């Protein structure tokens, strides 16, 4: 099953043209490097919230305009609801 995502620059495209960039999570700036900083960075990159319902996601259009977009997707139905 392939999903369709509407790129604001290129129009409707299959998600095979995009790379999933995960949930937009702000980067924390730890005061001093160390184990806590590494752990925070690991959690930011690899541990996802993955809610059942509406979730904000980043997608990179690698086979088209090569721009990032942020969209809302319902994880229960895999339906995209707009882009930003």
Taken in order 75, 66, 46, 29, the sign of the CA dihedral is negative
Residue 34 CA to residue 63 CA, distance in Å, equals 38
Q: Are residues 71 and 59 in contact, defined by beta-carbon separation less than 8 angstroms?
A: yes
pTM of this structure: 0.76
pLDDT in tens, 1-24: 678 999 999 999 999 999 998 888
- The stretch 63-78 carries a mean pLDDT of 94
Which two three-digit tokens encode residue 52?
Answer: 């059942």
pLDDT digits (tens, 9 = 90+) for 28-45: 665 566 777 788 778 877
* pLDDT score at 17: 96
pLDDT above 90 (res 26): no
Contact present, 73 and 63 (Cβ < 8 Å): no
Q: How confident is the model at residue 63 (pLDDT cuts 50, 70, 90)?
A: very high
């Amino acid at each position: 099953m392939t999903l369709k995502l509407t790129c604001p620059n290129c129009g409707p495209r299959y998600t095979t043209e995009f790379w999933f960039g995960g949930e937009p999570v702000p980067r924390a700036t730890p005061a001093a490097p160390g184990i806590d900083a590494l752990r925070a960075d690991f959690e930011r990159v690899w541990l996802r919230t993955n809610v059942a319902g509406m979730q904000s996601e980043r997608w990179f259009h690698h086979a088209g305009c090569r721009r990032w977009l942020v969209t809302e997707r319902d994880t229960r139905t895999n339906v995209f609801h707009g882009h930003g």
